[in-house]
Amino acid sequence: MADIYQRLAKFVDDLPAGYPSTESGVELRILRKLFTPQEAQLFMQLSLIPEEPRVIAFRAKQPLEAVSQRLQEMEKKGLIFGIHRPGREPEYIAQQFVVGFWEGQVNRLDEELVAAVDEYLPTFVDMDLWQKAPQLRVIPVGESIPVQTAVLPYERAEEIVRSHSQFAVTNCICRQERHVAGQGCDKPMETCMSFGVVADNIVRTGRGRSVSREEMLAILEQADQAGLVLQPGNTQNPNYICACCGCCCAVLRNLNQHPQPGLIASSPYIAAHDPEICSGCGDCVERCQMNALSVPNGAAELNLSRCIGCGLCVSTCTTGALTLQRKPQEQQASIPVDSMAADMQLAQARGKMSRKDLAAMLRQSKSDRLAARQSDE
């Protein structure tokens, strides 16, 4: 019989984002650090479909009271995602490694976990896969978008914020992780923004605090001032926005190592530069997180293959030499409608799940719900 953590690793690897194995077995060390054997066993009874504790208890063949208690504890530990609606039973979902139960460890990091994840990330992050199905996309800071440019609501951070009514902010897991490793920067820490059910989950589990819409908009302004790249979830209705720096963010760090990050990042915009009016001040060089700009001869030079269209250079350019332009339609990535569609895109890119598999998962969940109800009666 396979070790419980080997089975858990296989289960997580079968989720859309994956969890590839390594020769060193570091991925198993991470799981042993985060999950007790009992939690590992129960985690494998969950799916991507939100389900009530009685359905999970039925599937696990365990008493409902014990399963309900353990699910609550696992949610507080950031291992699973819980949805709590007034007047209804809570529902739980199996989280992926990233974005998922790794981010759930914010404010809980220690040197052992950070060292293990640092060792694992080069194996986990696959830039070829990211180009096909990114989990995050890049949107520009608001002031950098030309007024005359038609902008879709999900391309503007302010519009994403205004479309929601429930907000939370938490510390950035990446900057926190780099600080634990002794390599952190001085960028603001409390910048990870979430909305709706994700905001509710973060506040309820104590990983962050509730904020108003006005405070959330102020955090966006702070992110621009600090030179942070805005990366929401890769959907048309994202429930979080990360504010990322190139020195700490795992995604940007890996993009930076690629010779042409502009071809990998999902972004509808790209910078343009007019050397005739450039003052050569170099502010843009410091702001760019992808090293796309330099000032070799008194005026900035722009390497378009490294530009990810974040707009940080534009919002600080005093002469107007730098602007953002919308990419040609054929160069713009298609943005999934919601998180389930994004997961399907990622799973299909990895060859792990088809729409037929998802339909089977839905049928199984429906069947287990009915069986659990009948067993209660």
pLDDT in tens, 334-357: 899 999 899 989 999 998 877 788
Please report, rounded to a whole number, the percentage of residues in the chain having pLDDT higher than 70: 96
* Residue 356: per-residue pLDDT: 81
pLDDT band at 365; cut points 50, 70, 90: confident
- Pick the range with the lowest mean pLDDT from 50-64, 65-79, 124-138, 190-204: 124-138
Tracing tokens 């050569």 back to the chain, one arrives at 280
* Residue 145: per-residue pLDDT: 63
- Pick the range with the lowest mean pLDDT from 138-147, 223-232, 308-317: 138-147
Tell me the Cα Rg of the chain: 22
User: For residue 99, is the peptide bond before it cis, meaning its omega torsion is within 30 degrees of 0?
Assistant: yes
pTM value is 0.92
- Flag whether pLDDT at 143 surpasses 90: no
- Flag whether pLDDT at 189 surpasses 60: yes
CA–CA dist 236, 229 (Å, integer): 18
Tracing tokens 């907000």 back to the chain, one arrives at 167
Q: CA 86, 202, 362: angle at the middle one, nearest 5?
A: 60
Q: CA 90, 94, 99: angle at the middle one, nearest 5?
A: 115
Average pLDDT over residues 283-291: 94
CA–CA dist 182, 159 (Å, integer): 36
CB of 309 closer than 8 Å to CB of 271: yes
Please report, rounded to a whole number, the percentage of residues in the chain having pLDDT higher than 90: 79
* Residue 148: per-residue pLDDT: 47
